[in-house]
Each structure stands twice: as structure tokens, then as C-alpha cells.
Amino acid sequence: MSSLIPPSPFDVEAARRHLASARGPVFWRSLEELADNDGFLRWLHQEQPQLAQALSVDRRGFLQFMAASLALAGLSACGHPPQDQIVPYVHAPEGQIDGLPRFFATTLLRDEYAQGVLVENRMGRPTKVEGNPQHPASLGATDIFAQAAVLQLWDPERSQTVMNRGVTSSWDAFAAAAAQATERHLRDGGKRMRILTGAMTSPTLSAQLGAMLERFPGATWHVHQTLGNANARAGARLALGVPLATRLRLDRAKTILSLDADFLNDPTAGVRYARDYAATRTPEGNPGTPSRLYVVESTPSVTGGMADHRLALETDRLERFVGLLARGLGIDIEVPDEADAQQVRWLSALLADLKSNRGASLIVVGASQAPWVHGLGHLLNAALGNIGTTIEYTDPVERNVEQAASVADLVAAMRAGQVDTLWILDGNPAYDAPAHLRFADVLTQVPHVIHLGLYRNETGMLAEWHLPTAHQLECWSDARAYDGTASIGQPLIAPLYDGRSPAQVLAMVLGQNLQGRALVRQQWQQQLPDETAFNAALQQGVIPNTALPPRTASVSATFLAQVKLGPTAGTALELLFRADPTIGDGAWSNNGWLQELPKPLTQLTWDNAALVSPALAAQHQLRNGDVIELRLGQQMLAAPVWIMPGQAARSVTLHLGYGRRQAGRVGDGRGVDAYQLRSQSNPWGESGLQIRATGTRYELASTQHHFNLEGRDLLRVGTWAQLRTDPHFATAADPYRGKPPSLYADRPPGEYAWGMSIDLNACIGCKACTIACQSENNIPVVGKEEVQRGREMHWIRVDRYYEGDAANPRAYSQPVPCMMCEHAPCEVVCPVEATVHDDEGLNVQVYNRCVGTRFCSNNCPYKVRRFNFLQYADNSTESLKAQRNPEVTVRRRGVMEKCTYCTQRIQSAHIEADKQDRRIRDGEILTACQAVCPTQAIRFGDIADATSAVAQAKASARNYVMLGELNTRPRTSYLARLRNPNPLLGEDPP
């Protein structure tokens, strides 16, 4: 309230005291007096314009309004019952049972593409996101961003009110201003009006935008995407003549080649692709041959970590490699033969594999690659007969961007003074537009900038009007998934703040119905003609039959004539830009869960770093955390170094999304702003980088410091060939078969024996499990300094290990939750019985009994226990309290905690089963990590029931336990990873 100190003679403090002392009728009279006070009115007009407006409309309405608003603003002090009639909760809404969660299907967006989710709603509060099994992009799983959406919803730093030039305003005030602007622009057809958006898959918004452009024929639509798929689109145009979208059918592919394509972690379809891919690689119940994955990439990716064979090549060498590959497949292209012996061997093995799997091979080109590489990819897939089998073409899912102008055009127009009104429909160009455009500077020359956003970010701060967007969980929306399937987003809660959906805002301008539901309802009138159909679509979370049908297309190689590849530059370094693995392009900066989620490949938290290859680090004598100066043309940036095994020797990778200045308390000032180095010409990277060590250091916070297994068999790996000849390879070296002997008798079996199986062959290391667990179990965020001290709280971590040559190692991921040891070392050492065993085999942590000796953590060989060294749980931020799962204790400082196998879900299932007098069914309990896993690597259930999925997984020959020789008898076991190397390439080098 300090900013509200009135410059006018009106004394707010006196008014507050006066009101605080008043009761009942006196209170009303006081307010009337207040309404007649001149000083107060002046103050009100200056500081609370939305209230002043109300006053000008209707004095009686104003009084009612004041009673509530002043109470909220603290002017009347707290403690009065609301004057409005309140309705007691006697008749609960249908289907609502107090205390029990309800699930609603809705839609969340990532990079504007739909991900169908089910949101858990407890007493009207959305608390947890699960995947929607009916939705093609989810199949029941989600990525990390969908999990974090619920924290974003409750983020107290989201934009809360309409702001006009930095002063709190109102939607009505904006409506008046917008009406004026409309009138102004209608005169000249909107020539001086511009609309800036991102990609757009929402049919409703797209239609509204169309209507806008129709109403203002002179207006221009600009599209700004930080990364996006512009190259793929251009590539499709080159080879197919039309910018068709490409859909992968990984379930049909036997030989897959990724050219810098991180399809398992793809922002639009990664969750689905990961499931499809993992399914082809599970030996159990899968008699056919597994797929084989070749990856050629410049910077390590999640997909690269799963590769059977991986090549680390800089962009220029990668392009020449593709050229040679094309030539090997009979496509005429001019390419210098620079391949070294390893590449030649690799290429011939790859070609043999591809040719022998015609129609079942698949070449995927990454979004970072130049358009001609995308075009060539289409030619190669066509040459291999893959089109229509492993690759399907569809119409573009997004609104046709080809009609849009670029952000560069917009800047030019702004500079030339041709823009009077600029609509920025979500986005943050002042931060993430190419640096040399100086978007922020130019923006200030535009008289009227209207910015819509979830946060009042760098762009919102500069805008004349900033309008708060309602969160996706607060408003009606619709969107399309990667395959075109449309789904509706329904609000789970009334807007916490004064936000409105973009569709509602456009509706204001277009004079449409302002009701979000009506807008969406109207859009789908044809497909969903009546309420029943509409409600069914809401219930299912998908609108039936909206997936785009495959299209045929013919390829043309004429564009190759323009492609001329010279020899590679030799020693020049290149700088690659990629979206940050956990905070994306910066839109998620203020999300503590995502900031603290260890980045899948580096295990870094809270920062980005310049990823350099071990060779480059050795050449410049760099250690992790050394600050280097990156110079690209005229631009310069200092960034700390992280040595990345498997990084191409001459490639340096810098993730976007950090260095935010107006993100909020969580995101501000973290990391370095990679956008400052980025130019318009190539958003994905540029050659000609120069680096120089500065001699200073920057402390990075990584959750893992040692990536070498030290020869220990914690993570076991074999090959498919081995599985056939020696199925028990995973346990062959174990000194015993089955359980080691013990002096103590086994515990008597309980009603159930809970256990977990984690398939390392399926795990891609995406970390969705870690963040899902955090969301489900009220795990606090501890901050960078605490992570640096080694005090992160995640209950399930995903370890990463490397094997072999650091220049191009094999990479493995291993999720580690509590092992729920039958002979738990933690239990014997606790002096107060705070960690005990229950009869269903759970190793239970009793928070309120724990005194915090930490002996249990010391004695845990798996180091899965986490301790509240300080008061980590935020007990002061009100909105964060609402996010928490009421079934899980919020731990206070001084107590130990750890994975519980989601004991609250087990208990809920117990209650349900008891009510119906039956046993808990297999699959009835899904732990949070299990439910979210895109590849279904985690299985949980009753291991005493031989028919359960988990018992069957544990019966696999690949089953092993970690550190079994300690006789801890873990209930969590692993299935060994399988590699499928090409016999022509042998085992080493990879």
C-alpha cells in the first residue's frame, strides 16, 4: 500500500481509523460522509481510478462496492462480516463430496499446442495435473510444463489488474480506450494498427483474429516465435511445395535417424512420441525386432541419450553428413567429402540399415536445421518409401502463418512511425525479440501499445495498457494438438485476479459476447451442435474427429540445385541457441518448481550456462563455473561454462529464457540473457563465435557432481543380442540368486505387498516424475543457495551417468525414489521410531515423531532421504497454501522426509476398496511419478499378486535390485537398459 500514499490533503490513515471504529449503520453513514469528502474524491481519482469510475456511475452502487473493496484494500481494517448476503454450503453441487477430489478434463498449452490433461480439483481448488488418457498428445502422461501449470496458477506474482501507464486501472477504462481506438482505426481501415501474436492453434482465437483483420482490412498481423518451426515449414515448402506439417509414426519405424531432432522431448508432441518410441523397445511381450535409433546432433539432447549410435557433429559438419547420406541414397547433391574414417564407417552401416528397412525407416530433421535440410529430409524419406508409413503429412495445425508479417517488419513500421496501436496478444518481444532490432526501444515510440499477458513482463512494463490474462485453468479456451485434434479448455476456478482470456479481450473489440464459454461454444457449433455433445466433449477432453487426416504430397528435388556446400570452416566455433529444458524460452521463469528442476542433461538448476565440449574446455583450460566471454559479431556476453560430455567439439550451446528483468521474485536476474547475442538471421545458432576466459568464476548449482559410475553396477546395461543369448545378463554377476540369507525371519506378509519396477530401457530422463512428485507431495522449493549446499528436496531424482569417451559418451538415466527396503537400514538407526515398516511393506516416515538426528539419511545407501535443514515450506504466501495437496502433510523444519510411494493414494484406494468390500485392483493406484511418465517406465502395485503388472515386470529376466549385496531387499527394482547397436558398427566406438 505504500505506493498509495496520497499526495492530496486527504488523510487515508484518518479515514482508516474512522472506519475501523465504526460498526453497522454508523459504518454506512461513515462511508456516505467519505463519499462526499472532496479530498477523498481527489485521492480516489488519482489512486483508485476504477473505484472513482464506479462512483461516477451510481452513488448507491459505489457505496456497496466501497464496503467490499475498502475492506479488501485494508482501509476499513479487517474483521467485519461481508455485507452481502452469503449462502451457506447446505446443498453441495451435484457429484461433489467434501474432501474428495474431482477430476476435470481440460487443455493446457505448450508452445501453443494442446496437451489434454485431467486436473484434480479439491473443494474448488485445482491442485494437481494428470494426463488425459483420451488425448492423443498425452495418452495419460504429461510433460514437466503441464505439471508446473498448477503452480503458475497460484503464483502470487501473476499480473492481477489492468494497468494503464503503470497505474492501476480497470477493464471498463480499457474498454473505453479500446472503443476510442476502434473508432479511430475504422476511419482508415486500421492501417496504423498492428497485431502481434505467437503461433496460434486455437480455432476460436484464430477466427477472432480473422474477424479483426476483416474489420480492419488495413491492419497487419505479425507473428513472433522465439524458436518455433519456421525452418520446417520452409523446408516443406521447398520439397513439397506446400508448408505441410509432418507427423511421425514411431510405432512403425525400425530404423530411426534423428538429425538434431529431439523428438522424444518435442515441445508439441514429445510425450506422445516418447510413448510410441518406448513401445517399440520393450522386449517383454514384443517378439518383433526392436527399433534402432541413430542420432546425429551438435548438442546433447534427451533423444541423443537414448541413441544406439550417436555422432556429435557441429552444424556445418552435420549438414555435410546429411549431404553424404543423401548421395548414398542416390540423391544428387553437391557436397565435399570430408567425412573421417569413423563417419564413413557409421554412414555405411546406417545406409545399410536404412535400405534394409525401406518403408519402416524414418529420418527426422530437427527444428534447428536449415530449411534445405528439412527439404532433403523429405526427399530421403520419400526415397526410402517412408511417406505414408512412418511419416504422415497433414495440413498445418497452426493458423496459417504464411499470411503474417515478421517481427522485423513490425519494428521497421514502428520505427517509421506507421504504427498507432499495437496489440501484443501474449508474448514478451521486449525481452525475446532479436537483440539488434532493439524492440524495447522502438516500442516506446508507439503511442498505444496494448499488452496481454499472464505476467506484467518486460513488454508489459513498456505498454500503455497491460491487460492481465486469465490462466488457462481459469478461463475457456480451445486448442489443437500436434495431430490437429481439438480440445476445449474449461476453467477449474473463477479467475483469482482480474484476468480475462485473450478471446474475451478480442471479443471486447469485436463487440462479441464476453462470456468465455459462449465464445468457445459458438466456435464449435457445427461439430458439437447441442449441449449434450458439447458437454461430452468437455468430459472426454477431446472434440471427436478433429484430427487432421493424412495428406498425400509429391516431393520435388529442384531446390537442391540451390544448395552448394563448400568445405567446412575448420576451426570456427558456433553458438547454438536452444530453449531452456525447464523454463522454455523464458515464459516459465517465475516458476520455482521448474527453476529448481534439475535440467535433464546437466542437472543444473536456477541458471543457464554455456555448454562446451570437453575438448574445447581442455583447450581453454576451463572448469565448470568459469566465466567466459562469448563474442558473436558486435555482441558480447559473459556466461559461466558447463562442460557437456557429448557436445560437438566446436559447438557452444546457450539456453534461452534466462536473464529476465521483469519475471518476478523467482525468475529475476537469474542466469544470462542469451537473446542479447541472437540475430534475426538464424534464431537457432550462428557460426563465428569467439570465446575468451575471463578468469572470474560463477557458482552454478547442480544436483549431481559425479557422473561416473565408478565401475559400480547400480545401473545395468546389456544389448538385445545379449538378451537372446544370455537373458539373465543383468544379474549374472550378482554373488547370490534371489534374496541373500539373513539372521532374521521374514516379516509376516500383510494384505498387500507394494512394490515398484522402473524400466531403465524406457526411461528417457525427462524428469516429469520429479516434478509430478513435487506437485503431489507438497515438496518445497529451496532456492539456488540451498541447492548449492546439496539440500534439494526432490523425492525422486533422475540420476545421469556417462560411460566411455567424454567426447561422445553413452548416457544413461536412472530415476531413484525410495527403495522401500524390506531390511531398511534407516529404520534400525532411528532412536525414536520415526521411520518404521508397515505390514504392506512400506517404509513409513512419521514426520511428527521425527526429531531430526539424520542418522537415517546417513545410513541410506541410496541417499533418497531429504531433510528440512531450514524452514523450507512457505507458510506465509496465502495463494501457495491453496495449491497444496491437503492429503499430504506440509513438513516443518527439522524433520526428515522421503518418497512414500504416494501413500495418500494407497490409502484412498484402501478406503474405496473397503467401502465396496473388495480388494484393491491392479492399476487402481497410480503413484504420481508413474502416472506422469510418458514412457510408462514406472510400474507400481502388489508384488504378492503374480498377475499384477509390477509382479510381471519383476519377473523379467532384466530385473535387478540396486546394491542387493547389502541385503537391504529393496521393493523398488529396475529393469536393465537395452541397447540395440548395429553389428556392423560393433560396440565401440559408439
Q: Based on the shown chain and the rule CB under 8 A, indicate whether residue 865 belongs to the binding site for another protein.
A: yes
Q: Which stretch binds another protein (CB under 8 A): 64-72, 176-184, 762-770, 958-966?
A: 958-966
Surface-to-core class of residue 386, CB atoms within 10 Å of its CB (0-12 exposed, 13-18 middle, 19+ buried): buried
Site string for another protein, 777-796 (x = CB under 8 A): ---------x--xxx-----
Q: Is 152 in the site for another protein (CB under 8 A)?
A: no
Nearest-approach distance from CB 797 to another protein, in angstroms? 7
402: number of Cβ within 10 Å: 11
**Cα gap 225→200, rounded to integer Å:** 10
| Cell of residue 925, nine digits | 493406484
* Residue closer to another protein, measured from CB, 693 or 844: 844
Specify the 3-state DSSP secondary structure of 387. strand
- Comparison of 382 and 760: residue with beta carbon closer to another protein: 760
- When asked if residue 741 is in the footprint of another protein (CB under 8 A), the reply is no
Nearer to another protein, 683 or 970 (CB): 970
Collapsed DSSP state (helix, strand, coil) of residue 941: strand
Q: Give the whole-angstrom CA distance, residue 451 versus residue 463.
A: 6
The answer to whether 751 touches 839, Cβ cutoff 8 Å, is yes
Cα–Cα distance for residue pair 116/139, rounded to 1 Å: 8
Task: Give the interface segment with another protein, choosing from 253-261, 539-547, 700-708, 936-944 (CB under 8 A).
Answer: 700-708
Question: How far is 421 from 442, CA to CA, in rounded Å?
Answer: 13
Comparing CA positions, the residue from 420, 449, 443 lying closest to residue 430 is: 443
Whether a cis peptide bond, with omega within 30° of 0, leads into 371 is no
Q: Which one of residues 56, 871, 875, 877 is an interface residue with another protein (CB under 8 A)?
A: 871
Residues sharing a CB contact under 8 Å with residue 975, sequence separation 6 or more, in sequence order: 730, 757, 758, 759, 760, 761, 953, 956, 958, 959, 960
Three-state secondary-structure class, residue 921: coil
Cβ proximity to another protein: between 587 and 896 the closer is: 896
C-alpha cell, 467:
491487460
Our finding on whether 739 is near another protein (CB under 8 A) is no
Q: How far apart are CA 981 and CA 989, in angstroms?
A: 11
Q: Work out whether 977 is an interface residue with another protein (CB under 8 A).
A: no
Among 129, 424, 116, 380, which Cα is nearest to 272's? 116
377 backbone dihedrals φ, ψ, rounded to 5°: -55, -40
Which is nearer to another protein, 58 or 833 (by Cβ)? 833
Among the residue ranges 413-421, 632-640, 772-780, 824-832, the one whose residues contact another protein (CB under 8 A): 824-832
Residue 801 CB, nearest approach to another protein (Å): 7
Q: Residue 3: how many CB atoms within 10 A of its CB? A: 7
- Does the footprint of another protein cover residue 830 (CB under 8 A)? yes
* Cβ–Cβ < 8 Å for 199, 401: yes
How far are the Cα atoms of 206, 407, 410 from residue 197, in angstroms, in the given order?
11, 10, 12
Contact pick of 106, 280, 504, 868 for another protein (by CB under 8 A): 868
Q: Among residues 6 and 825, whose Cβ is nearest to another protein?
A: 825
The one segment of 411-419, 582-590, 675-683, 889-897 that binds another protein by CB under 8 A? 889-897
Q: Using the rule CB under 8 A, give the single segment among 351-359, 623-631, 959-967, 973-981 that binds another protein.
A: 959-967
Closest listed residue to residue 644, CA positions, set 684, 600, 688 = 600
Q: Which helix (H) or strand (E) holds 694?
A: strand 685-697
Q: From the list 831, 878, 916, 918, which residue makes contact with another protein (rule: CB under 8 A)?
A: 831
State how beta strands 421-425 and 391-394 pair: unpaired
- Asked if 849 interacts with another protein (CB under 8 A), we say yes
Q: Do 265 and 475 meet the contact criterion of CB atoms below 8 Å apart?
A: no
| 804 touching another protein, by CB under 8 A | no
Task: Give the nearer residue to another protein in terms of CB position, either 571 or 744.
Answer: 744
| Closer Cβ to another protein, 293 or 816, answer by number | 816
CB 614 → another protein: shortest distance, Å? 18
Q: How far is the CB of 62 from another protein (least distance, A)?
A: 48
Whole-number Å distance between alpha carbons of 923 and 921? 6
Interface with another protein, residue 625, by CB under 8 A: no
Contact between 832 and another protein by CB under 8 A: the answer reads yes
Through-space distance between the first and last CA atoms of the chain, rounded to whole angstroms: 62
Residues that bind another protein (rule: CB under 8 A) add up to a total of 55
Residue 298 cell numbers, joined: 551438435
Q: Segment 402-461, which members bind another protein (CB under 8 A)?
A: none
Specify the residue for cell string 508507439.
446
Q: Biggest alpha carbon distance in the chain?
A: 92
Is residue 740 within the footprint of another protein (CB under 8 A)?
A: no
Select from 431, 762, 819, 791 the least CA-distant residue to 587. 431
| Residue 710 engages another protein in binding (rule: CB under 8 A) | yes
Nearer to another protein, 540 or 788 (CB): 788
**8 Å CB contact between 607 and 700:** yes
> What is d(CA 784, CA 988) in angstroms, rounded to the nearest whole number?
39
- Rank residues 383 and 896 by Cβ distance to another protein and give the closer one: 896
35-94 positions binding another protein, by CB under 8 A: none
Stretch that binds another protein, among 110-118, 289-297, 670-678, 820-828 (CB under 8 A): 820-828
> Based on CB atoms, which residue is closest to another protein, 84 or 710?
710
Decide if residue 810 touches another protein (CB under 8 A).
Answer: no
**Span of 226-234, 612-620, 856-864, 941-949 interacting with another protein by CB under 8 A:** 856-864
Q: Contacting another protein (CB under 8 A), which of 893, 914, 919, 923? A: 893
User: Min. distance of Cβ 227 from another protein in angstroms?
Assistant: 31
CB of 765 to another protein, least distance (A): 12
Contact window for another protein (CB under 8 A) among 297-305, 477-485, 540-548, 866-874? 866-874
Indicate the pairing of strand 193-197 with strand 896-897: unpaired
- Binding part of the chain for another protein, among 434-442, 688-696, 950-958, 961-969 by CB under 8 A, reads 961-969
744 binds another protein (CB under 8 A): no
Residues contributing to the site for another protein (CB under 8 A): 704-712, 714, 786, 789-791, 797, 799-801, 814, 816, 825, 827-833, 849-855, 857-859, 861-863, 865-871, 893-896, 962-963, 966
